[in-house]
Amino acid sequence: MIRWIVFSTLSAGLLYGLYCLTLRRDRWLQLSLWYLLVALGFSLVFPFISLPDRLSAASQAVIPTGEYLMTLDEVVISDITAPYTLGWIVDIYLVGFALCAAYLLFQMAAQAVVVIRLRRRHSVYRAIDGFDIPRGAALILLDDDTAPYSFFNQIVVGTRGLTDDELRCILAHESLHVRQFHSLDILFARLMCCLAWFNPFAWLIMRELRAVQEFQADAASLGACGREDYLRLLYRQATGFGYGHITNNFNSINIKNRIVMMNKSKTRFGAWKLAAALPVVALLLVVGCKPAATETAEPAEQAAVAEPSVEPVLFDYSEDSLPEGFKSPEYEGGMEALYKYLAENIKYPEQAKADGIQGRVLIRFVVMNDGSIVNVEVARGIGGGCDEEAVRVVKGMSKWKPAVYEGKAVNVQYALPITFKLQ
């Protein structure tokens, strides 16, 4: 949980900062909108992405292995501390998420109720009635000074004091919101902000998203009426009142910023500014992505040595059914010494304790004919750092006495179950 909070906040901050330096003052509006949506979603999910092993099996030497798979008795690693060492963080997060989600649902329900009541009390118009609105959209005209807004495919306009030209400008503005499905974009952003309610950059990205949507709608309005008429209309509507964050309100964004953006034009190489996002994303993936289940960091002095892989073992022999002439490999000091080594060196990962993770990790490794341990891998993992910890300790074992079959030392694969248990 802590890792996700840290990396999602960091990534959202970097991507938001990059947007402010590149596209924020440019008129590549559609590109800006997509960038903000992707940045918001990426910042939440990328810490869960697993990167593949740095060394593929094809690049490693293959050593033939005997057909013997020995299974050791289960080793139990217990944690004597409470399961929820950091459980209060999870509790706080869940409370915050529940409050944000409840408010979002309440807000949407309230807005839906308002629109339904307006539809019952006032006339509803369609594109076929002569109004320039998208097909499938509904226009509700009120006899008051309600500020114009759209809610998904519903457009609400207060007509008191409006001329026909001003109504045409407003309809062009709100129709663009409907055509571009801006309410869905805002809903997605709000859901992401509910999940990352702790992340201030997520809320800033949503604010920028709403601004870009208004800039797009302003551009559509300028095409439907003159610039002076439209600016005059903006000033008249500057004190209007909206219906919350899911609606697209005619005057929801600072008027000054909208006027400034109207006077700007696309820069020739504006889209190429996003190339700066590539190294940022690459850095985030390398630093923030969780390692694959079978990947374990090597010590620096061993990083340059590629561990050889071993061909899969086909048969499973238990101690009671070993072939005649077979002598099992032995850890120096015997099985008691092996269990003591594992119990003393495996540490219960803090992440697993914080998340309440427990269960069995199955580690496979091969005892070579020279007694060395190679091809250590996770056959079945539970996450939370337990897999990596088990692999690390198994790789650190000293040499064994190799297995002997028909008078020759042979390679033998072992399966070692290690249970992590919270108490």
- pLDDT tens digits for 229-252? 777 777 666 654 443 445 565 555
* DSSP strands (E only) in 110-238: 124-125, 138-142, 149-151, 154-158
pLDDT value at 187 more than 90: yes
Q: What is the pLDDT of residue 271?
A: 67
Question: What's the CA dihedral at 106, 109, 110, 113 to 10 degrees?
Answer: -160
What pLDDT, in 10s, does the model give residues 288-316? Answer: 665 544 333 333 333 333 333 334 333 34
How many residues in total does the chain contain?
Answer: 423
Answer yes or no: are the C-beta atoms of 173 and 231 closer than 8 Å.
Answer: no
Q: What is the pLDDT of residue 273?
A: 72
Strand-pair category, 412-422 with 75-79: parallel
pLDDT value at 46 more than 80: no
- In order, the DSSP letters of 338-357 are HHHHHHHH----HHHHHHT-
Strand-pair category, 69-71 with 412-422: parallel
Q: What is the pLDDT of residue 418?
A: 84
Q: What is the pLDDT of residue 320?
A: 53
pLDDT value at 203 more than 70: yes
Tokens 């604010």 correspond to what residue?
Answer: 207
Q: Taking Cα atoms as reference points, which of 47, 23, 63 lies closest to residue 307?
A: 63
* DSSP strands (E only) in 121-266: 124-125, 138-142, 149-151, 154-158, 248-249
Sketch the domain layout of the chain as residue ranges: 2-50+88-286, 55-86+293-422
pLDDT value at 257 more than 90: no
